[in-house]
Amino acid sequence: AVISLGGIVAARSLRIAGDRLTEDIRHFSQEECKLLLGERTAEDLKMAIGSAAKGAKTIESSVRGRDLVTGLPREVIITDADVREAMAKSIRTIAEATKEVIERTPPELVADIMHRGIYLVGGGSFLRGLDKVLESETKIPIIVSDDPLTAVVRGCGIVLEDLDNFREALVEHEDELPPT
């Protein structure tokens, strides 16, 4: 979202978050390796070797799951490139949505954004290389928040503590939101 003068100027909401990226990894494992991974295993894999951008060297991880052909336990080696491929469509969707929001933003605000950058918040900001991918796609500096997991809730707390000054920025009905 682009927020200016206490209001939402342009926004886009996606149903892509950490859980979706984890599901992308599980789906990739089933299709490419014929291996069923548990949700926790896929999440651990994402956290350990997941990245949105290619790194300097290949990272591998051994994972265990159930072979979809035999039904027996099996272990395979998954690389960071495999995980990146698994998440590529979702990462592309995030990048495209970011560009769409910027395209719908008035030029004078885009100039300010280019100067100040885009702040990346939430658990997804921990995905290695996501900031670099977004920066490459938008040509705008990406800044990962100091505490990305609590940034949104801290912002809500600031609004609640000073409700009178933020009242105009609050939306009472969904139809007041800008198009997504």
Tens-digit pLDDT profile for residues 57-88: 999 999 999 999 999 999 999 999 999 999 99
User: How far apart are the C-alpha atoms of 134 and 29, rounded to whole Å?
Assistant: 26
User: How far apart are the C-alpha atoms of 25 and 10, rounded to whole Å?
Assistant: 31
| pTM check: above 0.85 | no
- Given 86, 105, 132, the domain boundary residue is 86
Residue 58 phi, psi (nearest 5):
-70, 135
Residues 100, 77 within the same domain? no
User: How far apart are the C-alpha atoms of 80 and 44, rounded to whole Å?
Assistant: 13
- Given 86, 109, 138, the domain boundary residue is 86
Here the CATH number for the domain that contains residue 115 is 3.30.420.40
Q: pLDDT tens across 108-143, in order?
A: 999 999 999 999 998 889 999 999 999 999 999 999
Total domains present in the chain:
2
Q: Which domain holds residue 135?
A: 2-13+91-176
Residues 77, 125 within the same domain? no
Residues 95, 153 within the same domain? yes
- How far, in whole angstroms, is CA 2 from its chain's centroid? 16
Residues 96, 76 within the same domain? no
- Given 40, 60, 86, the domain boundary residue is 86
Here the CATH number for the domain that contains residue 41 is 3.90.640.10
